[in-house]
Amino acid sequence: DPKIIQKPKYLVAVTGSEKILICEQYLGHNAMYWYRQSAKKPLEFMFSYSYQKLMDNQTASSRFQPQSSKKNHLDLQITALKPDDSATYFCASSQGLGGSSYEQYFGPGTRLTVL
Amino acid sequence: GDSVTQTEGQVTVSESKSLIINCTYSATSIGYPNLFWYVRYPGEGLQLLLKVITAGQKGSSRGFEATYNKEATSFHLQKASVQESDSAVYYCALSDQGGSFNKLTFGAGTRLAVCP
């Protein structure tokens, strides 16, 4: 059974619209993350959460808003979508944040295309 | 900021031949970063292949090895004899102990194609 679920797998949106990417983890982890991979670019860190609190935000735009309704959920709301937001978005989780050595487990990703 | 540079594009290797994927890094913190290799097999999610958090140490998994060389700031991935099932995309990554909480900085990825 998949341990990190991301929904939907594929998403097509129009410019200016708003979408929510869903992430749920069933590993009992306390920390969750979002990464993004645009075409021909490396995976890029976006956010880290620990016990449902934002720990780090490395996105330049407030259009990206993580939402954590439960400890094992970290959704990503994206508003005013732009074609440059087209990417695969990966959710990840780890047992904790301390020590920087905790293994991060990744979900399968949501591929977003903005037309 | 932190950066990771690895062998670009695709590497094609015949089955049972040896493999090396180069990785060099630059980290901004005073201490030494933690280093990782992740792999994405076709149709699957990203998964950790191996990690080394102590400079000078070697990590190994599934026949792959990588040594943390702090002098050369390198963490090359090697395997003595590849199999067709090793075909995947490999990512070198680091987490900077003095930086953001558990932020992973990734290289661009190297696609390995193993020919029978």
Q: What is the mean pLDDT of residues A59-82?
A: 94
Residue with tokens 């935000």: A57
8 Å CB contact of A108 and B44: yes
Q: State the average pLDDT over residues A35-50.
A: 92
* Mean per-residue pLDDT, A51-56: 89
Task: Say what the pLDDT of residue A76 is.
Answer: 97
Which residues lie closer than 8 Å to A95 by C-beta, 6 or more apart?
A27, A28, A29, A30, A31, A102, A103
Q: Which of the residues A104, A110, A111 would you substitute to probe the B interface, choosing the one with the greatest number of B C-beta atoms within 10 Å?
A: A104
Average pLDDT over all residues of chain A = 92
* pLDDT of res. B83: 97
The pLDDT value recorded for residue B93 is: 95
Whats the size of chain B, residue-wise? Answer: 116
Question: Residue A110's pLDDT is what?
Answer: 96
Contacts of A38 in chain B (CB under 8 A): none
| Residue A98 · residue A48 · CB < 8 Å | no
> Measured between alpha carbons, how far is residue B115 from residues A11, B22, B64, B84 in Å?
34, 20, 18, 6
Tell me the mean pLDDT in the region A54-83.
93
Is the separation of the CB atoms in B103 and A56 below 8 Å?
Answer: yes
Neighbours of B87 (CB within 10 A): 17
Between A35, A48, A109, which is nearest B101 by CB?
A48
Q: Integer distance in angstroms from the first to the last C-alpha of chain A?
A: 33
pLDDT at residue number B98: 58
Q: How many CB atoms lie within 10 A of CB A31?
A: 22
Region A52-61: what's the mean pLDDT? 88
pLDDT of residue A100: 56
Q: Which residue of chain A is at minimal alpha-carbon distance from B101?
A: A97
CA distance A89 to chain B (A): 12
Low-confidence residues of chain B: pLDDT under 50 = none
CA distances from A93 to A5, A67, A115 (A): 11, 15, 30
Residue B44's pLDDT is 86
Q: What is the mean pLDDT of residues A91-103?
A: 79
What is the pLDDT confidence band of residue A18, given thresholds at 50, 70 and 90? Answer: very high
Which pLDDT value is given to residue A11?
97
DSSP-assigned states of every residue in chain B: --EEEE--SEEEEETTS-EEE-EEEE--SSSPPEEEEEEE-TTS-EEEEEEE-STT-EEEETTEEEE-BTTTTB--EEESS--GGG-EEEEEEEE-TTSSTT-EEE---EEEEEE-
Residue A101 has a pLDDT of: 60
Share above pLDDT 90 across residues of chain A, in percent, rounded to a whole number: 75
Question: What's CA A103's distance to the chain center, in Å?
Answer: 17
Contact A58 B105 (CB under 8 A): no
